[in-house]
Structure 1
Amino acid sequence: MLWVAVSAVAIGFLVALEAIARGYGLPGPVTNQAREVIFAPKSGPLLYASMALTMVVLTWRQRFIAAGVAIGIDVVFFVVRWIVDARMMFGNGALWVILGCAVVAVTRRTGRERALLLKGVGLGLLLVAGRKTGDAWLLITSKTRPTVLDPYLATADHALGDPSWLVGRMVRATGPIGTHLLDWVYIQLAVAAVVVTLYQLRHVAAERRFPRHHLVRTFLVIGLLGPSIYMVFPVVGPVFAYGQGAFGTGGGQWALAHLWPDVPPPISAPHPMSYDEITPRNCMPSLHTAWATAIFIHSRGGPRLLRFAGTFWLIATLGATLGFGYHYGVDLIAGVVFTLTIEAALRTYDRGWDRSGMRLVAYGATVFVGLLLAYRYLPLEMARHPWVAGPLLLLVMASVVYGYVRVDQRWAPKVAPARQPAQSAGRQPELAGIPQPLSRSRSSSTSARNHV
Structure 2
Amino acid sequence: MLIHDAPGSPPPPAEPTGAARPRDRRVTAAWCGIAAAVLVLVAGELVAAHIDALGPLTSLAWDYVGRPKSATTPWAGFLLALVGVATRVRVIALAAAVGIDLIFVIIRAIEGRLFTVGNGPTIVLTALAVLAAWQWSGERRRTALRAIAFGALLILATKVGEIWLDITAWACPTVLDPYAELADHALGNPSWVVGHLLDLAGPVPLGVVRWVYFELPVAAIVVAVWQLRNVTAGVWPRHHLVRTFLALGLIGPLWYVVFPVVGPVLAFGPQGHGLELADVWPDIVPPLPFSVGPMPFDDITPRNCMPSLHTAWALSLFIHSRRGPLWLRVGGAFWLVCTLIATLGLGAHYGVDLVAGAALCLTVESALREPDRGWDNHRVRVVALGVVTFATTLLSTRYLAPTMADYPVLSGLALLGLLSALAITFYLTWFAPTRKSAKAERALVSSTPR
TM range (shorter): 0.7 to 0.9
Structure 2 residue aligned with 1:172, among 199, 204, 222? 199
State the match for 1:254 in structure 2.
275
Distance (Å, rounded) in 2 between the aligned partners of 1:22 and 1:78: 29
Compared with structure 1, are the counterparts of its residues 78 and 180 closer, same or farther at alpha carbon in structure 2 (3 Å cutoff)?
same
Unaligned residue ranges in structure 2 (runs of 5+): 1-25, 444-450
- 1:126 alignment partner, one of 133, 153, 178: 153
Q: 1:41 aligns with which of 61, 68, 79?
A: 68
Q: Which residue of 1 is the match for residue 390 of structure 2? A: 368
The amino acid of 2:327's aligned partner reads L
Report the Cα distance in structure 2 between the residues aligned to 1:292 and 1:225, rounded to whole angstroms.
Answer: 16
Distance 1:66 1:377 in 2: 54
Deviates more, 1:321-330 or 1:69-78: 69-78
Partners of 1:25 and 1:374 lie apart in 2 by 35
Letter in 1 for 2:284: V
Partner Cα separation in structure 1 for residue 437 and residue 228 of structure 2:
20
1:253-286 deviations in Å (ceiling 9; x for gaps): 1101111111111112321111100111011000
| Structure 2 residue corresponding to 1:331, chosen from 353, 376, 385 | 353
2:110 is the counterpart of 1:89: no
Does the 8 Å contact 2:186/2:408 carry over to 1?
yes
Q: Could you tell which deviates more after superposition, 36-45 or 276-285?
A: 36-45
Matches of 1:343 and 1:212 in 2, distance apart? 13
Percent identical: 46
Cα distance, 1:36–1:357 mapped onto 2, change above 3 Å = same
Name the larger-Rg structure.
2
Q: Does 1:317 align with 2:317?
A: no
* Partner of residue 293 from structure 2, selected from 266, 271, 276: 271
Alignment of 1:25-424 (within 5 A): 25-207=52-234, 209-244=235-270, 250-268=271-289, 269-347=291-369, 349-409=371-431, 412=436
Matched residues, number: 414
8 Å CA contact retained: 1:197, 1:215: yes
State how far apart, in whole Å, the 1-side matches of 2:316 and 2:95 are.
32
Q: Distance in 2 between matches of 1:255 and 1:80?
A: 42
Say what the alpha-carbon RMSD is for the aligned residues: 2.0
* TM-score (ref. length: structure 2): 0.88
Q: TM-score, normalised by structure 1?
A: 0.88
Contact 2:239 2:371 in 1 (8 A): no
Return the offset for 1:27: 2.8
Q: Alpha-carbon deviations, 1:56-76, whole Å to 9, x = none? A: 011111111111111111222
- Unpaired segments ≥5 residues, structure 1: 245-249, 420-452
More displaced 10-residue stretch of structure 1: 196-205 or 265-274: 265-274
Q: Which moved more, 1:105-114 or 1:340-349?
A: 105-114
Q: Is the 8 A contact 1:348 1:354 kept in 2?
A: no
Query: Residue type matched to 2:114 in 1?
Result: R
Contact 2:84 2:145 in 1 (8 A): no
Secondary structure of the 1:253 match is coil
Asked if structure 1 preserves the Cα contact closer than 8 Å seen for 2:59 and 2:69, the reply is no
SS at match of 2:293: coil
Contact kept? 2:67, 2:116, Cα under 8 Å: yes
Amino acid at match of 1:156: A
Q: 1:194/1:267 Cα in 2 relative to 1: closer, same or farther (>3 Å)?
A: same
Quick one: structure 1 residues 360 and 6, their matched pair in 2 at CA, closer, same or farther if it must change by over 3 Å? farther
Inter-partner Cα distance in structure 2 for 1:411 and 1:15: 45
Q: What is the rounded CA distance, in whole Å, between the counterparts of 1:27 and 1:370 in structure 2?
A: 35
> Deviation of residue 415 (structure 1)?
7.1
Aligned partners of 1:383, 1:14: CA distance in 2, in Å?
Answer: 43
Q: CA deviation at 1:411?
A: 5.5
After the TM superposition, which of the residue ranges 326-335 and 402-411 deviates more from structure 2?
402-411
Asked whether the 8 Å contact 2:312–2:357 carries over to 1, the reply is: yes
